[in-house]
Amino acid sequence: MRHLSLLSLGVLSAALLSGCQQPSATAPGAPRGEQAMRHLRYLNDTIGTRVQGTAAEDQARAYIAAQLRDMGYQPQVQPFEITRKNKAGETRQVKSANVMAVQPGKSEQEIVVVAHLDSVAAGLGADDNASGVGVLLEAAQALHGQQLPYTVRFLAVGAEEGYSDGVQNGFRNDGINGSSFYVGQLSPEALHKTLFVVNLDSLAAGDFLNVYGSEGADGYVRDAALQLGQRLGYDLQTSPGLADEFPAGSTGDWSDHAPFAAKGIPYAYFEATNWSLGDKDGYTQTVKHGGIWHTAKDNLAFLNREFPGRTEAHLKAFSDVLIHLLEAPPTR
Ligand SMILES: [Zn+2]
């Protein structure tokens, strides 16, 4: 009921006088990004650091499932195991899981919106990636029950971040586990009906709003998002292609779009960063403080103090563009 307390009496009585239904947080004119911000705050303040295979990662998953259930979805949890190895060749199994919910559309063809729910051990994962989870949940709420052209699957994945126990020759594993597991268990038919994927990773801290996409003709989702950004009045940009490895408009295979892209599924990938800095590979997010992700600076108090208003503005812009993209998805 939090959203009702945010409405001024004037808005409420005007709605009642005009015979409208009770306004909701997702009604036209509701402040976009506010729900995303609420989720980010909960993940940052109440749960905090969410390393793969820990109780905190579990708590984050349970929170997302509960939020989706409250919206009217029937969330499904998809467990998987991760193997950590050390240099002596020993292995350890760790449990993680994805959580997802589906909004059926007119077509069974499906768009997947993915965001990772885990974080590294440093910081509270406000930017990386409570911001992405927040925008995913805001879109899920805004679109619940709508007549969408395509089915949309909201997929919050575990264990995107790599792991190292910090001991020399200790146990470690690479990341991108949850999305790899999701893609790996798809039948050929399910793979075929996946139209494209939208990855949300680290939306809050970086200097500029970016969207990347597949190279060539499969880049149509990125292009549609760029057009939407322009139409909605946001300064949404793409990678300039200053480093040889990343042609303009594309990016590296370091996040949850990668397992989809490896199967030939077109992607769009939203991220806030600054491509003019450092090695010009998008890794140095800000002029003021360099990279925020994977450092102790990745917490909401730091972001609010050093970049006042930025997190709110970014979540608003990304939520707005994503929701419009899902309401009227582009076709190739
Ligand atoms: Zn991330």
Question: What residues does each domain of the chain span?
Answer: 30-327
Lowest mean pLDDT among 29-33, 122-126, 162-166, 175-179: 29-33
User: How many angstroms separate the alpha carbon of residue 255 from the centre of ligand 1?
Assistant: 7
pLDDT tens-digit profile of 54-90? 999 999 999 999 999 999 999 999 999 999 999 999 9
User: How many angstroms separate the alpha carbon of residue 117 from the centre of ligand 1?
Assistant: 9
Residue 267's alpha-carbon distances to 30, 113, 145, 221, 260, in angstroms, are 29, 10, 25, 7, 8
- In the chain, pLDDT over 70 holds for what percent of residues? 91
**Residues facing residue 213 across a β-bridge:** 268
DSSP assignment, residue 46? I
Q: What is the mean pLDDT of the chain?
A: 92
What pLDDT, on the 0 to 100 scale, is given for residue 243?
86
pLDDT greater than 90 at residue 16: no
What pLDDT, on the 0 to 100 scale, is given for residue 20?
37
What pLDDT, on the 0 to 100 scale, is given for residue 257?
98
What pLDDT, on the 0 to 100 scale, is given for residue 29?
53
Two structure tokens written together for 126: 């406000």
What pLDDT, on the 0 to 100 scale, is given for residue 193?
97
User: How many angstroms separate the alpha carbon of residue 32 from the centre of ligand 1?
Assistant: 23
User: How many angstroms separate the alpha carbon of residue 17 from the centre of ligand 1?
Assistant: 46
User: How many angstroms separate the alpha carbon of residue 176 from the centre of ligand 1?
Assistant: 9
What pLDDT, on the 0 to 100 scale, is given for residue 21?
36
pLDDT greater than 50 at residue 226: yes
- pLDDT tier, 332 (very low <50, low <70, confident <90, very high otherwise): confident
pTM for the model stands at: 0.91
pLDDT greater than 90 at residue 123: yes
Topology given in CATH for the domain delimited by 30-327 = Aminopeptidase (3.40.630)
The CA distance from 222 to 126, in Å, is 25
- pLDDT tier, 330 (very low <50, low <70, confident <90, very high otherwise): very high
User: How many angstroms separate the alpha carbon of residue 191 from the centre of ligand 1?
Assistant: 24
pLDDT greater than 60 at residue 161: yes
**Residue 94 amino acid letter:** V
User: How many angstroms separate the alpha carbon of residue 189 from the centre of ligand 1?
Assistant: 29
The CA distance from 302 to 112, in Å, is 32
pLDDT greater than 60 at residue 273: yes
The mean pLDDT of 5-9, rounded to a whole number, is: 34
User: How many angstroms separate the alpha carbon of residue 169 from the centre of ligand 1?
Assistant: 25
What pLDDT, on the 0 to 100 scale, is given for residue 30?
66
What pLDDT, on the 0 to 100 scale, is given for residue 288?
98
User: How many angstroms separate the alpha carbon of residue 269 from the centre of ligand 1?
Assistant: 11
The distance in angstroms from the start CA to the end CA of the chain is 40
What pLDDT, on the 0 to 100 scale, is given for residue 86?
96
What pLDDT, on the 0 to 100 scale, is given for residue 129?
98
User: How many angstroms separate the alpha carbon of residue 116 from the centre of ligand 1?
Assistant: 7
DSSP secondary structure letters along 294-310: TSTT-SHHHHHHHSTTH
User: How many angstroms separate the alpha carbon of residue 14 from the centre of ligand 1?
Assistant: 42
What pLDDT, on the 0 to 100 scale, is given for residue 244?
85
**Residues facing residue 150 across a β-bridge:** 107
